[in-house]
Structure 1
């Protein structure tokens, strides 16, 4: 705590006294602190993981945090200290969503509104492409001898088939969070805020929808509801595109878990986290509907 107090003293916004510090739940690559001073209430995000191995660009994260604030759905940007491994944002008073909250009536409509707001806001500094990131993560695992499931690379051709199908009808990239777990959605009672731009970048908006859907454990009806609310109409082609993007999310992010399992020394089961996503991706690749999704997305 003495070291932590000394670190916070180096940041003007956090240096006020009296000061209280509380750990916030959530966050697998950061330690998140709620810091209350006479000048306000802030969140200090301290890096815990190897940013280079996980392909995290901290400069882009800070830039994109400011852009998200300007869009109207991101928390206020306060300070960025790369020398301290620290990003400071304003604390949003509200209730953090859970997966269950997304299943309540009207919740996905509100999420769609927040996403459209973010996606129509200022562009981010960098781009995000899961096909590129998956390749980078896989090379890291292979080159370093990290443990991945037997047969992981057996699905590389199917992964490439998705890329080919999506390229038939390309969509313009937009600023995306790319890690929209329920815990990154905060309800202040009147609007939803989207937080945590660690993996943000300009991307296919339907990756955003598909990733949110799979990470929050929603069902097929919820996916159709979310896509319809976002698009404003039913669209079989965009629904299929979103479903395929969910597959890329599962297959690509699974490697994130395997890298963390080899490089982090804590009690969280990162390998199990990755295995769960890989198993879901395998079920998708082997699904009799897989070819239908490819055809519909390319139509």
Structure 2
């Protein structure tokens, strides 16, 4: 779907009374996002179908979007139908990596993650998927091999590393998480922050969201310590650091392999090859740091 086709599809939804404007929003690498003005009110239309290779099922995204809206974490849902989700437009700015290098902003984002983990399960109901990153990595490797990916020679080594990371993570506490904490999925409004994009939501370790928040913003070590201290209410000990660092590596590896798969399957106009290379470099750097601490066994 081209941007013009996405605008046409958004304008054609039956929920409108008198559309006065429709234009694409920046971002969105698994869907098209269109801002629509209708009778003086602004909405965001998210257009996208199921993407089985990434575990994206729109019924599940809708369910968690509803729960997040009820919990006050996300904008309210205005309309939905197969292939389209319409939510209230919030006057806000999506965070960038640099924003999370500001201490006050980072602590506010960490508090938002903690609120998510506390409150979302109270509002979710019906079937809810798990998001176990190590299963996802193995599934991605299977698909990449089946499709003859250019990355196939790397896969055996990456899966061996993933197995070592899974052992290093150890037992986990389960929370209902977001699992895609790119800075752009956190919106800063006039007096609060919001979370958007629930495509990958599901049960997981809280360390995946915390590690994803840090790795996606390339945070330094002191900022990571501040996140963990803020979230858990005490300074992290050696065991928590080991689990956190391993999960952070897994988060980076998942983002890398997600992009490898998207290189072959996505129809969105986005440079996935460059995104793969960027995240693979970050993963290698984080893995080397973990190995240097002697926290990874073969």
For the criterion TM > 0.5, the same-fold answer is yes
Moved more, 28-37 or 18-27: 18-27
- Structure 1 CA distance for aligned equivalents of residues 246 and 29 of structure 2: 26
- Structure 1 CA distance for aligned equivalents of residues 201 and 253 of structure 2: 18
Partner of 1:142: 145
Structure 1 unmatched ranges of 5 or more: none
RMSD: 2.2
> How do 1:82-231 and structure 2 match up within 5 A?
82=82, 85-123=83-121, 124=124, 125-148=128-151, 150-167=153-170, 169-171=171-173, 173-231=174-232
Partner of 1:279: 281
Q: Secondary structure of the equivalent of 1:27?
A: coil
Matched, 1:249 2:251: yes
Partner of 1:260: 262
Partner of 2:59: 59
Q: Secondary structure of the equivalent of 1:22?
A: strand
- Structure 2 CA distance for aligned equivalents of residues 114 and 257 of structure 1: 27
Structure 2 unmatched ranges of 5 or more: none
Describe the shift of the 1:102–1:284 C-alpha distance in structure 2 as closer, same or farther (beyond 3 A).
Answer: closer
Q: Secondary structure of the equivalent of 2:251?
A: helix
- Structure 2 CA distance for aligned equivalents of residues 207 and 215 of structure 1: 11
Determine if contact 2:141/2:155 at 8 Å carries over to the other structure: no
Q: Secondary structure of the equivalent of 1:93?
A: coil
Describe the shift of the 1:265–1:37 C-alpha distance in structure 2 as closer, same or farther (beyond 3 A).
Answer: closer
Q: Secondary structure of the equivalent of 1:234?
A: coil
